[in-house]
Amino acid sequence: MAKKAQPQKPPVAQDIIDACLASAVAEGDIVNFRFLFLSYSPLRNDSSEEITADKYAYLRTADTSTQRYADALARASVGEVRQWVQKQLDKNGPAQLPADLLLLLGDNAVLLGKYTAAAQAYELLRIRRRMQEEFFVQADAALDRNEIAQAVRGYLIATGLAYDYAAFPEPLPTVPDFHNKALILHAEYPKSIEECVALQPEENHLRTALSYLLLSPEAAARLQTRSLETLRAFVLELVRQRDPEWDLFVKQYRQSCEVMRELGEHIDRNNLEAGSLADEAAEQQQTRHPEEISEALLGRKIEKGEWWQYMKELAYNHAPAVLFVSRQAISKDLEIVVPRHRSDSVWVRELGLY
């Protein structure tokens, strides 16, 4: 039986094509941008998909009043670019994306903090590594000038542009995975209280924080030769930029310390026999349980939550938080996450944790 012919849709208007491209570029949205050129893109005249359909409204959701949108629209409306885009939309085969627009998309993605999108755009343009190095170089220069906030931003962008070439099945941008890194950081139960991450001498603690928060030992190594004061100022700013809701965590942390105090000083496992504290705590505080310490730290209760569940969620909500906690066995069946810090640590005090 002969296949029924599809009704021909009217050609997609040029202003719609421009608007869709400008929207993706202005928002640094690499996924939408690539989608517009796929074989089933609604911008293609030979596709049965209609760009005017409600389901594609998201392709034009950028705020048209911004300078970013105006710049992107101007770039997309250049005669040469329009011609190239149309040629690719009419082409029977994979499209070749216009580099000009992609470059602007990458820059906008950096501006908006969408570093993985920027990494993909720069990778396609084969400039990712050089851009990454340029961010590092300028961040180091900012640090030399004692412009800490700018230096931290540079390091965050540069590390955000990293690529994982061992990702399966294809290389992909490296994504922040603090929830996994936190478990690696606390993988071994500290044999003595001094082995706790949070109780290291300040300089060691700062270096651990640097590697963990930058997600890159190589990036952290670039700061090896900096003085303790510079390092401290850098990490303090890094904590704030990594976790804009740090002050909320500080409140939870202090509350957790309060709960811990109320439950008594005897949570020092070196002075207790395994299995006895839970009973003792239950006797002394009929209505309170050691788990409340972890709950206060996280700001919510996880039903039948294990220590590692609290740790993962804590790292997900407030990445730097796991640098100021430790695992604590309460009995042979119960381990919790508790706040820990050195009272002589300058940076811990400056972070408002005590």
Partner 1 sequence: MSTESSYINYLEVLEMPEDCKSGEAIRAYKKKMKDLVIEIARVEITEERRSTFLLEMARLNAAYYILRDKDLREKYLADRAQVMQLEEEWHATVEKNPDSEDADRLRRSYDSVLRHFLSTYMEELMLEAGRDKECVEASHWDAAHERLATRVLRHYRQQLYREIHERLPYYEVTQPKINWDERKQVVAELLKVGA
**Which residue from 13, 149, 184, 282 is in contact with partner 1, where contact means CB under 8 A?**
149
Residue 98 sits in the site that holds partner 1 (CB under 8 A): yes
Is the Cβ of residue 22 or residue 298 nearer to partner 1 in the bound state? 22
Return the bridge partners of 76, or none.
Answer: none
Stretch that binds partner 1, among 42-50, 99-107, 186-194, 324-332 (CB under 8 A): 99-107
Q: Which of 283, 279, 305 is nearest to 293 (CA)?
A: 305
**Which residue from 18, 27, 29, 107 is in contact with partner 1, where contact means CB under 8 A?**
107
Terminal Cα-to-Cα distance of the chain (whole angstroms):
79
CB of 119: closest distance to partner 1 in angstroms?
Answer: 13
Stretch that binds partner 1, among 119-127, 222-230, 260-268, 314-322 (CB under 8 A): 119-127
Residue 33 structure tokens: 């941008």
CB of 281: closest distance to partner 1 in angstroms?
Answer: 40
Distances (CA, A) of 152 to 53, 109, 310, 319: 43, 18, 28, 16
**Which residue from 147, 202, 280, 306 is in contact with partner 1, where contact means CB under 8 A?**
147
d(CA 153, CA 139): 8
Residue 202 sits in the site that holds partner 1 (CB under 8 A): no
Residue 126 sits in the site that holds partner 1 (CB under 8 A): yes
Report 68-87 residues binding partner 1 (CB under 8 A). 84
DSSP 8-state secondary structure symbol assigned to residue 326: E
DSSP 8-state secondary structure symbol assigned to residue 106: H
Stretch that binds partner 1, among 69-77, 144-152, 198-206, 302-310 (CB under 8 A): 144-152
The 3-class SS string of 43-70 reads CCCCCCCCCCCHHHHHHHCCCCCCHHHH
